């Protein structure tokens, strides 16, 4: 039987805890272990292992590939937090807050180098395919983050531009995780490509649901105050849709300094519902999830092996946190 999500999560946690980074100067290496120790869903490495398990009964070989994407993801978290001036990550101080900006830049750089080192622990015969998709993805994630930053000061952003941005910033790394897991489990090219597309579509649905929950999630479940995107006037699909139907109304709510944050958030949410932005977004998300279902169908392995990926897909589509 394939491992469940929580079993795979344990394998990843164990791998992280039993291989802490060691090196000098200590204040360069401590941030690496710190951010990796903050936990999280570990969705990327879990996807890599699930993907490997579609084709192989042993996931041992896929652990370095899984860790590669987790290290890369953590590199991007360290640097994104500096760029976004975020004080907290998972309720704890971000690296640049706990240490300082320069240390955060450099430990992020080191984490990126370490992700390449980790990739090279995979069997050498897989290097060309692994490096091809990993380099492409790494470069695209940078593109996506820059687009995201550019959008902040851009007067208007089209829905398609926003979708391209989240694809590059988030979804391609999920596709890459699945593809790398498949590669080291000797999947053929067609299955690798299908898994990549599955990951990208899953990632799109995942990020869109994240945007939905940022507005409509309950704080107790989400674990953070919702409404962050509303207060920063982030040009999400709901924002763009609402702008189209009620031009400037959203902006005037967010910019009205006589309103409390809570009232701004509630008013924006009412406006989202009024213009149908929430349902509009969920529709788009559903389309991506449905495409992911199709991708999964096309993967030529026994259906029982696909069970965990199917369960994950349903979970991501229906989650409330």
92 phi and psi angles, rounded to 5 deg: -115, 160
Q: Between 83 and 221, name the residue whose CB sits nearer to a second copy.
A: 83
CB of 132: closest distance to a second copy in angstroms? 8
Q: How far is the CB of 204 from a second copy (least distance, A)?
A: 19
In sequence order, the β-bridge partners of residue 93 are: 88
Rounded Cα–Cα distance for residues 34 and 190 (Å): 38
- Helix 127-153 and helix 101-119, axial crossing angle in degrees, nearest 10: 150
Taking alpha carbons only, the member of 205, 200, 275, 202 closest to residue 240 is 275
Interatomic CA distance for residues 25 and 106, integer angstroms: 12
Q: Give whichever of 117 and 303 is closer to a second copy, judged by the CB atom.
A: 117
Residues at the interface with a second copy (CB under 8 A): 23-25, 27-28, 75, 79, 82-83, 101-103, 105-110, 112-114, 116-117, 120, 124, 127-128, 131-132, 135, 138-139, 142-143, 145-147, 149-150
In the complex, minimum distance from the CB of residue 86 to a second copy, in angstroms, rounded to a whole number: 12
Which run of H or of E encompasses 74?
Answer: helix 63-83
> Closer to a second copy at the Cβ: 144 or 205?
144
Minimal distance, residue 166 CB to a second copy, in Å = 15
Q: Which is nearer to a second copy, 109 or 266 (CB)?
A: 109
Q: Smaller CB distance to a second copy: residue 76 or 191?
A: 76
Instruction: Compare residues 75 and 288 and give the one whose CB is closer to a second copy.
Output: 75
Instruction: Tell me how many degrees the CA angle 134-136-137 measures, rounded to the nearest 5.
Output: 65
State the minimum distance, in angstroms, from the CB of residue 296 to a second copy.
30
Nearest to 82 by CA among 39, 33, 31: 31
Asked if 215 and 229 touch (Cβ cutoff 8 Å), the reply is yes
| Phi, psi dihedral angles at 278 (to 5 degrees) | -65, -45
Three-state secondary-structure class, residue 189: helix
User: Nearest to residue 45, comparing CAs of 71, 19, 20?
Assistant: 71
CB 107 within 8 A of CB 124: no
Task: Return the H-helix or E-strand segment holding 93.
Answer: strand 92-93
Q: Which residue's CB is nearer to a second copy, number 150 or number 225?
A: 150
* Phi/psi at 85 (5° precision): 50, 40
Judged by CB, which is closer to a second copy: 20, or 39? 20
């Amino acid at each position: 039987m394939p491992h469940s999500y929580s079993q795979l999560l344990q394998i990843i946690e164990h791998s992280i805890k039993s291989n802490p980074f060691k090196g000098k100067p200590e204040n360069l290496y401590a941030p690496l272990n710190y951010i990796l120790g903050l936990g999280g869903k570990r969705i990327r490495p879990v996807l890599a292992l699930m993907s490997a398990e579609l084709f192989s009964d042993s996931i041992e070989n896929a652990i370095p590939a899984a860790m590669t994407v987790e290290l890369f993801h953590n590199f991007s978290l360290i640097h994104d937090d500096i760029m976004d001036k975020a004080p907290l990550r998972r309720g704890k101080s971000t690296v640049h807050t706990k240490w300082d900006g320069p240390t955060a830049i450099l430990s992020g750089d080191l984490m990126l180098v370490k992700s390449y080192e980790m990739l090279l622990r995979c069997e050498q015969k897989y290097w060309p395919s692994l490096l091809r998709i990993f380099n492409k993805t790494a470069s695209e994630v940078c593109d996506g983050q820059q687009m995201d930053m550019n959008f902040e000061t851009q007067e208007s952003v089209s829905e398609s531009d926003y979708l391209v941005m989240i694809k590059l910033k988030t979804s391609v790394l999920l596709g890459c995780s699945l593809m790398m897991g498949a590669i080291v489990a000797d999947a053929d090219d067609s299955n690798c490509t299908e898994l990549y597309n599955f990951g990208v579509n899953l990632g799109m649905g995942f990020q869109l649901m994240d945007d939905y929950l940022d507005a409509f999630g309950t704080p107790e479940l989400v674990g953070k105050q919702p409404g962050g995107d509303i207060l920063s006037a982030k040009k999400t699909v709901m924002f763009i849709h609402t702008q189209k139907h009620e031009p400037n109304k959203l902006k005037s709510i967010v910019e009205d300094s006589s309103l409390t944050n809570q009232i701004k958030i509630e008013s924006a949410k009412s406006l989202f519902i009024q213009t149908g932005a929430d349902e509009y977004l969920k529709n788009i998300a559903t389309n991506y999830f449905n495409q992911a279902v199709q991708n999964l169908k096309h993967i030529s392995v026994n259906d029982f092996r696909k069970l965990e990926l199917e369960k994950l897909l349903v979970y991501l589509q229906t989650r409330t946190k």
